């Protein structure tokens, strides 16, 4: 019933099994769906499920509640899903919604109730439970004034049941979601492969005068026809100096001959994200200077690959890469050893040309949750995305791939997506043969 192929319920069953190991005895866990966000009038934005609720249930629909109560006195109370009631009338107006049977098959949970039954059942469970785990958005960079359904529920619940022991679910979810299972890695791989199709589609189409939004249109066409619901995040199609604006997404400029285009675009698939960045020359050939900066970024990326291994952590990884970045910036004539020797340690010289982090977790969120102070472990999925931005030259180069950390080394989920200069130029030349 959803655009993507059904996911086997074992993924969600195993995720719940892992969660249960982290709970206090006699605990009840509550997770709420995301809201459908309003725009204006009766308009709405596209629905995006709460990543934690999806991770534990697979239910991809608004107004869903998941209860997990491993020590419940009755078996049918150990796991319960509430979905909004559907019927013939709703089906005509809103299309297909989860029936109880489909919710059961999706989640692997046998107790499925309609949402209007929630308060009665919840009251019976709360009478038994001691600890209550509620969910909140504790992403390290979360910064939204909008009150979520989880937040409203927390207020309601604490007001109605003030004497329970309340616990934070978020730190446990971060621990769990940080390590991806093979099924999740396959879903991310699928998202990467859809992104690859989009990238290969645009290579022969780009020529001087093409508008950034025309490239965006070709990408979304390719993504959607491959069962993606669209971009995993706002796409950056930045030609020329626009590439130096890190979160550029107007995508409304004409691509000028002799400049490059930075594409930071990824498809989502089944709520899993991919996150690709490539830079291509508008005219089909890189200039000598563009090549030099590009190769420098590629060398930084290769160094990063060597260090994104079990046992390292993000901090030592980043520290080690700073030395590599400094050397490349000096070789490009952008910095001198003097600049570095006399730099303000709080604002190091390299930050003028490389002002963001090198890696982040990737998964159900494009900047996925996780504890950034822990050592790299097998099953973690990271991006590597070095960049050099030279505003005075109107040139910004960033390259980004997605990787799985394995016991035996790093697996590149984007190894088939062209990244070498000559391969990109060759693919772009194919337009001239048409």
Task: Confirm or reject binding of residue 111 to Mn ion (CB under 5 A).
Answer: no
Task: Confirm or reject binding of residue 135 to Mn ion (CB under 5 A).
Answer: no
Closest CB 62 distance from Mn ion, rounded Å: 28
Biggest alpha carbon distance in the chain? Answer: 74
Q: Residue 18's closest CA among 65, 68, 77?
A: 68
Cβ atoms of 208 and 257 closer than 8 Å: yes
Nearer of residues 31 and 267 to Mn ion, judged by Cβ: 267
Helix (H, G, I), strand (E, B) or coil at 66: strand
Closest CB 346 distance from Mn ion, rounded Å: 25
Retrieve residue 143's tokens: 């910064």
Give one word for 64, left, alpha or beta, with left for phi > 0 and alpha for psi -120 to 50. beta
Number of residues that this document lists for the chain: 434
**Between residue 239 and residue 268, which ones bind Mn ion under the rule CB under 5 A?**
none
d(CA 403, CA 298) in angstroms, rounded, equals: 15
Task: Confirm or reject binding of residue 271 to Mn ion (CB under 5 A).
Answer: no
Q: Which residue is nearest to Mn ion (CB)?
A: 275
Q: What's phi and psi for 76, nearest 5 deg? A: -75, -5
Helix (H, G, I), strand (E, B) or coil at 63: coil
Closest CB 348 distance from Mn ion, rounded Å: 22
* Binding segment toward Mn ion, per CB under 5 A, in 80-88, 118-126, 271-279, 341-349: 271-279
**β-strand partners of 384:** 401
Nearer of residues 57 and 383 to Mn ion, judged by Cβ: 383
Retrieve residue 255's tokens: 């691509």
**Between residue 364 and residue 383, which ones bind Mn ion under the rule CB under 5 A?**
383
Nearer of residues 52 and 275 to Mn ion, judged by Cβ: 275
Closest CB 49 distance from Mn ion, rounded Å: 21
d(CA 80, CA 380) in angstroms, rounded, equals: 30
Nearer of residues 79 and 275 to Mn ion, judged by Cβ: 275
Task: Confirm or reject binding of residue 60 to Mn ion (CB under 5 A).
Answer: no
* Binding segment toward Mn ion, per CB under 5 A, in 119-127, 224-232, 273-281, 301-309: 273-281
Task: Confirm or reject binding of residue 57 to Mn ion (CB under 5 A).
Answer: no
**Residue ranges in contact with Mn ion by CB under 5 A:** 275, 383, 385
């Amino acid at each position: 019933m959803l655009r993507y192929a059904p996911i086997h319920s074992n993924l969600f069953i195993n995720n719940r099994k892992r969660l249960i190991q982290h709970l206090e005895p006699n605990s009840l866990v509550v997770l709420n769906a995301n809201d459908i966000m309003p725009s204006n009038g009766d308009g709405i934005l596209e629905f995006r499920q709460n990543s934690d609720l999806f991770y534990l249930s697979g239910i991809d629909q608004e107004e869903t509640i998941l209860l997990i109560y491993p020590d419940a006195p009755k078996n049918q109370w150990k796991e319960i899903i509430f979905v909004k009631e559907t019927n013939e009338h709703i089906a005509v107006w809103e299309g297909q919604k989860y029936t109880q049977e489909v919710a059961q098959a999706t989640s692997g949970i046998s107790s499925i109730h309609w949402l209007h039954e929630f308060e009665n059942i919840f009251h019976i469970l709360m009478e038994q439970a001691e600890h209550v785990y509620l969910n909140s958005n504790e992403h390290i960079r979360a910064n939204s004034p909008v009150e979520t359904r989880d937040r409203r529920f927390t207020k309601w619940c604490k007001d109605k049941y003030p004497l329970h022991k309340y616990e934070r679910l978020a730190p446990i979810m971060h621990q769990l979601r940080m390590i991806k299972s093979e099924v999740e890695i396959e879903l991310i791989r699928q998202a990467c492969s859809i992104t690859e199709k989009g990238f290969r589609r645009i290579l022969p189409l780009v020529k001087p005068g093409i508008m950034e939004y025309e490239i965006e249109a070709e990408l979304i066409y390719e993504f959607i026809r491959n069962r993606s619901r669209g971009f995993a995040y706002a796409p950056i199609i930045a030609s020329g100096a626009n590439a130096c604006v890190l979160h550029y997404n107007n995508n409304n400029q004409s691509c000028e001959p002799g400049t490059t285009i930075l594409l930071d675009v990824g498809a989502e698939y089944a709520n899993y994200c991919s996150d690709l960045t490539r830079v291509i020359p508008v005219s089909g050939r890189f200039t000598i200077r563009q090549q030099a900066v590009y190769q420098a970024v590629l060398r930084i990326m290769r160094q990063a690959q060597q260090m994104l291994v079990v046992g390292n952590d993000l901090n030592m990884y980043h520290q080690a890469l700073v030395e590599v970045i400094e050397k490349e910036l000096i070789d490009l004539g952008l910095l001198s050893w003097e600049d570095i020797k006399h730099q303000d340690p709080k604002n190091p010289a390299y930050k003028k040309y490389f002002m963001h982090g090198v890696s982040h977790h990737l998964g159900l969120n494009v900047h996925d949750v996780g504890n950034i102070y822990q050592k790299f472990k097998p099953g973690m999925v990271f991006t590597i995305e070095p960049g050099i931005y030279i505003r005075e030259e109107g040139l910004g180069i960033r390259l980004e791939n997605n990787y799985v950390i394995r016991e035996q080394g790093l697996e590149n989920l984007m190894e088939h997506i062209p990244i070498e200069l000559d391969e990109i130029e060759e693919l772009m030349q194919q337009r001239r043969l048409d």
